Amino acid sequence: MKDLLLITPPFTQLNTPYPATAYLKGFLNSKEIPSFQMDLGIEVILKVFSREGLQNLFSTEPDLARYSANAQRIWTLKQEYIKTIDQVILFLQGQNPTLARQVCSMNFLPEASRFNTIDDLEFAFGNMGLQDKAKHLCTLYLEDISDFIVECIDEDFGFSRYAERLGRSANSFDELYLKLAGSNTFIDEITLSILQEKLESVQPKLLCFSVPFPGNLYSAFRCAKFIKQNFPTVKVAMGGGFPNTELRELKDPRVFEFFDYITLDDGELPVELLHKNLENVDNTEFKRTFLLDNGEVIYQNNSLKTDYKQSEIGTPDYSDLPLQHYISVIEIANPMHSLWSDGRWNKLTMAHGCYWGKCTFCDISLDYIRLYEPVSAKILVDRMQELITKTGETGFHFVDEAAPPALMREVALEILRRNLVVTWWTNIRFEKSFSRDLCYLLKLSGCVAVSGGLEVASDRLLKLIDKGVSVEQVAKVTRNFTEAGIMVHSYLMYGFPTQTVQETVDSLEMVRQLFEMGILQSGFWHQFSMTAHSPIGISPEEFGVKPEKREIRFANNDIDFIDETGIDHSKFGFGLKKSLFNYMHGINFEMPLQDWFDFKIPNTNIHPDYIHDCLLVEDDFKFKGNSKIIFLAKNPVVENFVKSKKGNSWNVSQLTFHLNTNIVKIELDQEKAQWLLNIIQENPIEKPQKTTLLQLKNNFEESFDDFELFWFSKPVQQLRENGIILSL
């Protein structure tokens, strides 16, 4: 028996749990509040996609005459699906790796329409490994079954979302309310049977649904209705990303036929107070909570307590979740999407909110972005080690809005000091702070990928967005990450207010050049959407758009608008995405941009060598005295000898540095070599305080002249180029 049951409703990711309930459970542990968590989505998926589940799915013959030839084919092959499903799921859970060879034989899995693109497999994935190829084929197999479910069983089904259309910008509750009044679907019945079993086992007093996306909303309401009808003493609350962004203007009292409370923003204090209310019914203290009072929706925020600092919320706790049962899938040939959906990641946050907080398309008025608060590197790495111990997983996804470069540096150093072997990735801004040396340090600490918003590759529009970067700066930063061996994914946007057709074409040309130069490996185009809590949504007239106003009684986030330019930006979508698919695979850079579109576009105004020329500007020979110097050398081998030339001789030392993948040898005057060795020994990576370049200069010039001549000499440049000395 637990006081609280925390649930993520269907559906989010298949490969790893959404972290909100784990964050909340970690906090509740620190307050000694007993709780249990479950990812209802993965439990439903595993129930449906099992031998028993498919037998139930295919138990009632649909009127196939009404359905497509594809659905008829899947129905005809139903016994093959039932026979193979358990082995496929085990393989995708990493428990049956030998199945890969049989899957790749191409005569094991039943194949329907998703396999029609199989001829493009080698083009899309190249010489991918056997396991990855098999994962992709198994993913197609699952998607075929999903297509059958959508067409014949439940039109709202989706692996990472359920009835998403009902939650998207649902200004009125009417459609969702009508859907909830109807009978349960096949998926609903499975969901509710699992929920009932968990409720009877845990016996909670309060059930908290974390609803991150519109695709989780319907199922949360369906479950809440079931609880009200069958477990009337259990209080039901909802929080998470969806209410935080969409339900801030909630007015419809019918919502509270399903939920007792809806909380906004950080959930720790609101949930703690709801728990206190369970213990003391006379308590009326709430934090950012909607509830019903005398038939009216009221917003209570009468607690004088302040929200907990990030250092006080504890380490996320993934216990109770079936970590070994999540399934890794490879859906499409996009490196970042593959990283997102393949493998299990412990999710952490370096900082609450965004340190930049200015982008005009972003919801910067909301607390989850507006209130910036970083966590110390020591606490973060403590949490990483705790999670490794508890979950057995060493992969981390830092889910920041934009991870701060200075904190990333300190986290990387802390990882190296503790000699940890971890793999991690995160979201960034393409800051000029990401120097070549910093990127190399991040790579050494286990960073494998970063994603960031280039948005519209136009300097005029980047200024209008208030992105704080230029295309030239983005090019240099992506080059630095790429040369360090870190994959770079870029979010790309089209249709931004006042964007012209010429700017869309020029933006595509910039992107083409970034991929052609090999400094961008992954990307994704999306069309601009205006949200209610962004600067554009708050003051649309300043950006040349006219919103279509509607009465808000339920959700409010995406706003329909009229672009005063009159351009139909949506027509560019297919050509932009098709060209990007080709560029990601290193082909067709020479094709004229016009060939990607079936309508006339203007020629680009961007010089064909623009990105190339941006990368020619170097600043390696600038002396930055406040730079921190990191020495990554370990026990260089020293060989002393005498050199002679024209009757003169002098003592020389050869220093040999053995790196993981190469050997670096340099020669220095013996005295300077000994000085350098002493400095390296006095400043190991384990030492918390780092020497600045100015301190190094002063130390050097106590014994020698002209530090700059030494620092920019060829031998020291070799050490810097190979990451033996880093200047941060």
Euclidean distance between CA atoms 232 and 712, whole angstroms: 74
Tokens 């706790």 belong to which residue?
Answer: 317
**Are residue 602 and residue 668 in the same domain, yes or no?**
no
Closest listed residue to residue 206, CA positions, set 2, 4, 24, 33: 4
**Are residue 294 and residue 380 in the same domain, yes or no?**
no
Tokens 């190339």 belong to which residue?
Answer: 612
Closest listed residue to residue 381, CA positions, set 396, 364, 366: 396
Task: Give the model confidence (pLDDT) of 2-21 as tens digits.
Answer: 899 999 999 998 999 999 99
**Are residue 198 and residue 91 in the same domain, yes or no?**
yes
Long-range contacts of 620-628 (CB under 8 A, 24+ apart): 621/712, 623/693, 623/708, 623/711, 624/693, 624/727, 625/692, 625/693, 625/694, 625/697, 626/692, 626/693, 626/694, 627/692, 627/693, 627/727, 627/728, 628/690, 628/691, 628/692, 628/693, 628/727, 628/728
Of 563, 580, 614, the one marking the end of a domain is 614
Partners of 290 in the beta sheet?
262, 299
Euclidean distance between CA atoms 16 and 578, whole angstroms: 29
Residue 619 lies in a domain: no
**Are residue 189 and residue 122 in the same domain, yes or no?**
yes
**Are residue 289 and residue 396 in the same domain, yes or no?**
no
**Are residue 609 and residue 646 in the same domain, yes or no?**
no
Task: Give the torsion through C-alpha atoms of 425, 429, 431, 434, to 10 deg.
Answer: 0
* pLDDT band at residue 388 under the 50/70/90 scheme: very high
- Which parts of 58-170 fold into alpha helices (H)? 69-76, 78-92, 99-103, 121-125, 130-148
Closest listed residue to residue 711, CA positions, set 649, 591, 621: 621
Residue 340 lies in a domain: no
Amino acid code (one letter) for 530 = M
Residue 188 lies in a domain: yes
Residue 684, pLDDT score: 86
What would the mean pLDDT of 47-67 be, rounded to a whole number? 91
Helix (H, G, I), strand (E, B) or coil at 192: helix
Task: Give the torsion through C-alpha atoms of 191, 192, 196, 197, to 10 deg.
Answer: -30
Burial of 692 (0-12, 13-18, 19+ CB in 10 A): middle
Residue 580, pLDDT score: 93
Residue 127, pLDDT score: 55
* pLDDT band at residue 686 under the 50/70/90 scheme: confident
Is the pLDDT score of 299 beyond 70? yes
What would the mean pLDDT of 273-279 be, rounded to a whole number? 90
Please state the separation of Cα 554 from the chain's center in Å. 28
Instruction: Name which residue leads in pLDDT, 339 or 205.
Output: 205
Residue 100, pLDDT score: 93
Query: Is 564 in contact with 571 (CB distance < 8 Å)?
Result: no
Residue 333 lies in a domain: no
Apex CA 149: angle with CA 147 and CA 154, to 5°? Answer: 125
Query: Is 279 in contact with 239 (CB distance < 8 Å)?
Result: no
Helix (H, G, I), strand (E, B) or coil at 288: coil
CA–CA distance from 701 to each of 631, 698, 711 (Å)? 19, 5, 12
* Element housing 373 (H / E): strand 373-374
**Are residue 511 and residue 475 in the same domain, yes or no?**
yes
Task: Give the model confidence (pLDDT) of 693-725 as tens digits.
Answer: 999 999 999 999 889 999 999 999 999 988 898
**Are residue 646 and residue 699 in the same domain, yes or no?**
yes
Residue 596 lies in a domain: yes
Residue 16 lies in a domain: yes
Euclidean distance between CA atoms 500 and 496, whole angstroms: 9
Residue 689, pLDDT score: 73
Long-range contacts of 379-382 (CB under 8 A, 24+ apart): 379/311, 380/348, 380/350, 380/411, 380/414, 381/411, 381/414, 381/415, 381/418, 381/420, 382/315
**Are residue 386 and residue 504 in the same domain, yes or no?**
yes
Amino acid code (one letter) for 319 = S
Residue 361 lies in a domain: yes
Closest listed residue to residue 4, CA positions, set 42, 38, 46: 38
Domain count, the chain: 3
Is the pLDDT score of 484 beyond 90? yes
* pLDDT band at residue 619 under the 50/70/90 scheme: low
Query: Is 133 in contact with 121 (CB distance < 8 Å)?
Result: yes
Closest listed residue to residue 409, CA positions, set 383, 430, 437: 437
Is the pLDDT score of 485 beyond 70? yes
Is the pLDDT score of 471 beyond 70? yes
Euclidean distance between CA atoms 265 and 243, whole angstroms: 8
Helix (H, G, I), strand (E, B) or coil at 619: coil
Amino acid code (one letter) for 449 = A
| pLDDT, mean over the chain | 91
Is the pLDDT score of 414 beyond 80? yes
**Are residue 302 and residue 387 in the same domain, yes or no?**
no
Sign (positive/negative) of CA torsion 399, 404, 405, 409? negative
Query: Is 273 in contact with 198 (CB distance < 8 Å)?
Result: no
**Are residue 594 and residue 641 in the same domain, yes or no?**
no
Query: Is 289 in contact with 250 (CB distance < 8 Å)?
Result: no
Residue 133, pLDDT score: 86
Length of the chain: 728
- Bridge pairing between strands 4-8 and 395-398: unpaired
Give the chain's largest Cα–Cα span: 103
* Element housing 437 (H / E): helix 436-444
* pLDDT band at residue 211 under the 50/70/90 scheme: very high
* pLDDT band at residue 436 under the 50/70/90 scheme: very high
* Element housing 245 (H / E): helix 241-246
What would the mean pLDDT of 661-672 be, rounded to a whole number? 90
User: Which residue segment(s) compose the domain that 33 sits in?
Assistant: 4-312
Euclidean distance between CA atoms 702 and 704, whole angstroms: 6
Of 297, 312, 327, the one marking the end of a domain is 312
**Tokens standing for residue 637:** 């081998």
Tokens 């960073």 belong to which residue?
Answer: 447
Of 591, 614, 637, the one marking the end of a domain is 614
Partners of 649 in the beta sheet?
644
Residue 105, pLDDT score: 84
Closest listed residue to residue 3, CA positions, set 178, 145, 208, 157: 208
Q: How many Å from the N-terminal Cα to the C-terminal Cα in the chain?
A: 52
Query: Is 187 in contact with 146 (CB distance < 8 Å)?
Result: no
Beta-carbon neighbour count of residue 107 at 10 Å?
8
Residue 641 lies in a domain: yes
Residue 571, pLDDT score: 95
**Are residue 569 and residue 644 in the same domain, yes or no?**
no
Euclidean distance between CA atoms 26 and 492, whole angstroms: 35
Tokens 């190399």 belong to which residue?
Answer: 440
Euclidean distance between CA atoms 84 and 110, whole angstroms: 9
Instruction: Name which residue leads in pLDDT, 106 or 209.
Output: 209
Task: Give the model confidence (pLDDT) of 96-130 as tens digits.
Answer: 999 999 998 888 999 999 988 765 556 555 556 78
CATH number of the domain enclosing 354: 3.80.30.20
Euclidean distance between CA atoms 436 and 482, whole angstroms: 10
Task: Give the model confidence (pLDDT) of 308-356 as tens digits.
Answer: 999 999 999 999 999 999 999 887 667 777 777 778 899 999 999 999 9
Going by C-beta distance under 8 Å and a sequence separation of 6 or more, which residues neighbour residue 544?
497, 498, 563, 564, 565
